[in-house]
Amino acid sequence: KQEVTQIPAALSVPEGENLVLNCSFTDSAIYNLQWFRQDPGKGLTSLLLIQSSQREQTSGRLNASLDKSSGRSTLYIAASQPGDSATYLCAVRSNQAGTALIFGKGTTLSVSS
C-alpha cells in the first residue's frame, strides 16, 4: 500500500530564507507527483505536477524535484515571503488501475517578516 510522508510537519523561517520541504513515498510505481498549497480554511491549489518521467518542474520561486527510484520529492522555495505561509501537501498517483491520489499529511510553513 502506497504511503506518503512529509517532513517536517511544521517549519518556521524568517522572510528571505530559501527552504526545502520533503516528501517520500513507499512505492516507486507512480504516474506522477503533485504539490499543492492549502491556506487555512481554504481548498487546495495545485502548485507543480511532475510526471514520472521528469526530474523537476519549476514555477517562479518554486522548484520541485522527483527521484522516483528512491521514492523522494522535494519542494524548494526561494526567497520565502510571508505570503508563502500555508500548508504544503504532496500527493502521488500510483500507476495501478483504479488508484487515486494518495496524500501526505502536509508541512505547515510559517514565514515571519
CB 36 within 8 A of CB 88: yes
**How many CB atoms neighbour CB 91 within 10 A?**
20
CB 91 within 8 A of CB 102: yes
Of the ranges 12-20, 45-53, 59-67, 68-76, which one interacts with other proteins (CB under 8 A)? 45-53
- Shortest Å, Cβ 16 to other proteins: 30
Residue from 106, 107, 109, 111 touching other proteins (CB under 8 A): that is 106
DSSP string for residues in 60-90: TTEEEEEETTTTEEEEEE-S--GGG-EEEEE
- Shortest Å, Cβ 22 to other proteins: 16
32 is a site residue for other proteins (CB under 8 A): yes
Please give the residue ranges that form the binding site for other proteins (CB under 8 A): 31-32, 34, 36, 41-46, 49, 51-52, 89, 91, 93, 95, 98, 100-101, 103-106
